[in-house]
Amino acid sequence: MTQPAQTSPTPQLPAMTLADLQAQMQHWQQPAFRAKQLLDWCNKGVLDPCEMANIPAPLRQLLQENLCCQPLKLVHRQCSSDGTRKYLFALQRDRVAGKMVESVFIPEEKRGTVCISSQVGCVLDCPFCHTGTQGFEANLTAGEIVAQVLMIKHDLRQEPLADELHSDVTHIVYMGMGEPMANEAAVQQSIEILMDEQRLHLSRRRITVSSSGLVPQITRLGAAQPVNLAISLHSADDAKRDILVPINKKYPLAELRRCLDAYPIGKQRHITLEYVMLDGVNDQADDLATLVRFVQPERERVNLIQFNPYPGSPYSGSSKQHMKRFAQQLISQGIRATVRRSRGDDIMAACGQLKADATIPNQG
Ligand code: SAH
Ligand code: SF4
């Protein structure tokens, strides 16, 4: 019996390697050096063939007709007083066209971090997370994940930040919308592209995947591409974590423990355990004691996150003072602990606040 023909989706330019483009040039009977020229534009974030100055018109037309050069469209950008920029992008692909994702650029003096999304909404439903309230709508492709970084690079070149802030992308964190490990293949492919020396050539030390704890996928990530790992722990007690991070019911703490112990981290590197501090929920003395028992201080550090409220959120955050005390108590037990500085508060760009609505925020 004959199988129905597979219709292959249109290749997305941001996901293409030099070898892919060389094969494409050969297929179109174009000189091989065009592949490198195209890649240079792409790496700079110039994805519109009309803006590729050294590409002749007939090749531009071939690109436009046969490839998806711009898998995302910038819909809106908000700039915070601290330099943080939040971007709203619309997908362009059939069936998901118009769905939105958000990405955030967080500048510091010597580094620029892009926080990228891996899904529209999220497959999981942690009750303190705004993205989780949106439900799952779509997985992004590798091209759409990489395009977030490229378009932000482009925007930063067009409009750099104030001199004291870094205006280029040096670090990537998969901490935007979605659970990266629930979109495993596309996320792994996007990591390969970000690390490819012909593409963005980022070292794995500069890439961090944050996961709520999908054990088999994290194990496979460690085997394929052991980038930095952050785990949304939020409680070291199974009964509490079942509520705060419901995937815990499937992969409880003992399994997560074994997975973290086996994750390959290089010397000088640590797994980050993220811990959002919720007033009266996971910030008490017994929570601290359970956390201390869970952490492996040689390989792990704890990052305390201030709860970022969103309209209608059912929790309130611990006070800053209480968070500092909690951190000091961890440190006194030999555990590296930091309190994460919240950025972009005035534009709701902080962790867990991303939730792209179809409605475009007011310009201003
Ligand atoms: N799905 C992944 C990555 C995206 S969320 C994960 O859960 O790890 C990135 C981080 O923001 C996670 O640690 C998440 O638990 C945290 N977060 C979610 N909602 C938050 C909120 N309202 N305030 C502070 N942190 C939040
Ligand atoms: Fe999804 Fe992470 Fe939010 Fe949980 S915290 S709902 S896994 S995005």
**CATH code, domain carrying 128:** 3.20.20.70
* Whether residues 80 and 25 fall in one domain: no
Q: Which domain holds residue 270?
A: 72-347
Nearest CA to ligand 2 atom 2: 179
**Is 122 an annotated catalytic residue?**
no
* Whether residues 52 and 142 fall in one domain: no
Of 138-142, 307-311, 322-326, 343-347, give the lowest mean pLDDT range: 343-347
Residue 133: inside a domain, yes or no?
Answer: yes
Q: Which residue has the higher pLDDT, 253 or 345?
A: 253
Distance 352 CA to ligand 2 centre (A): 7
Rounded average pLDDT over 235-251? 98
**Is 109 an annotated catalytic residue?**
no
Residue 356: inside a domain, yes or no?
Answer: no
The yes-or-no verdict on residue 4 having pLDDT over 90 is no
Residue 104: inside a domain, yes or no?
Answer: yes
The yes-or-no verdict on residue 331 having pLDDT over 80 is yes
Cα-Cα-Cα-Cα dihedral sign, residues 68, 150, 92, 190: positive
Cβ-based neighbours of 149, under 8 Å, separated by 6 or more: 114, 116, 169, 172, 194, 200
How far, in Å, CA of 157 to CA of 49, rounded? Answer: 18
Residue 2: inside a domain, yes or no?
Answer: no
pLDDT in tens, 22-78: 999 999 999 999 999 999 999 999 999 999 999 999 999 999 999 999 999 999 999
Give the chain's domain count. Answer: 2
Q: How confident is the model at residue 6 (pLDDT cuts 50, 70, 90)?
A: very low
Ligand nearest to the CA of 305: 1
Burial (CB count <10 Å: 0-12, 13-18, 19+), residue 17: middle
* Whether residues 108 and 61 fall in one domain: no
- 244 Cβ below 6 A of ligand 1: no
Distance 126 CA to ligand 2 centre (A): 6
Residue 361: inside a domain, yes or no?
Answer: no
Largest CA distance in the chain: 69
Nearest CA to ligand 1 atom 20: 352
Q: In this structure, what CATH number is given to the domain that contains residue 37?
A: 1.10.150
Q: Ligand 1: which of 276, 339, 345 to mutate, judged by most atoms within 8 Å of the beta carbon?
A: 276
Residue 358: inside a domain, yes or no?
Answer: no
Nearest CA to ligand 1 atom 8: 211
Distance 82 CA to ligand 2 centre (A): 25
Ligand nearest to the CA of 132: 2
pLDDT value of residue 289 = 98
Alpha helices in 196-294 (DSSP H): 215-224, 238-244, 253-262, 285-294
The yes-or-no verdict on residue 1 having pLDDT over 70 is no
For residue 130, the ligand 2 atom closest to its alpha carbon is 3
Q: Ligand 1: which of 103, 125, 173, 305 to mutate, judged by most atoms within 8 Å of the beta carbon?
A: 305
Distance 171 CA to ligand 2 centre (A): 21
pLDDT > 70 in the chain, percent: 93
**Strand pairing report for 112-115 and 207-211:** unpaired
* Whether residues 62 and 205 fall in one domain: no
Reference 339, options 319, 361, 359; nearest CA is 319
Are the C-beta atoms of residues 45 and 153 closer than 8 Å to each other? yes
* Whether residues 55 and 80 fall in one domain: no
Q: Which of 42, 102, 115, 122 is catalytic?
A: 102
Pocket around ligand 2: residues whose beta carbon is below 6 Å from it? 122, 124-126, 129, 131-132, 178-179, 212, 232
pLDDT in tens, 154-165: 999 999 998 888
* Whether residues 210 and 339 fall in one domain: yes
* Whether residues 220 and 332 fall in one domain: yes
* Cut 0.75: pTM above it: yes
Residue 121: inside a domain, yes or no?
Answer: yes
Both tokens of residue 188?
């792994």
* Whether residues 104 and 57 fall in one domain: no
Ligand nearest to the CA of 308: 1
Q: How confident is the model at residue 299 (pLDDT cuts 50, 70, 90)?
A: very high
* Whether residues 82 and 202 fall in one domain: yes
Residue 140: inside a domain, yes or no?
Answer: yes
Ligand nearest to the CA of 210: 1
* Whether residues 46 and 109 fall in one domain: no
Q: Ligand 1: which of 139, 217, 232, 243 to mutate, judged by most atoms within 8 Å of the beta carbon?
A: 232
* Whether residues 199 and 151 fall in one domain: yes
pLDDT in tens, 177-230: 999 999 999 999 999 999 999 999 999 999 999 999 999 999 999 999 999 999
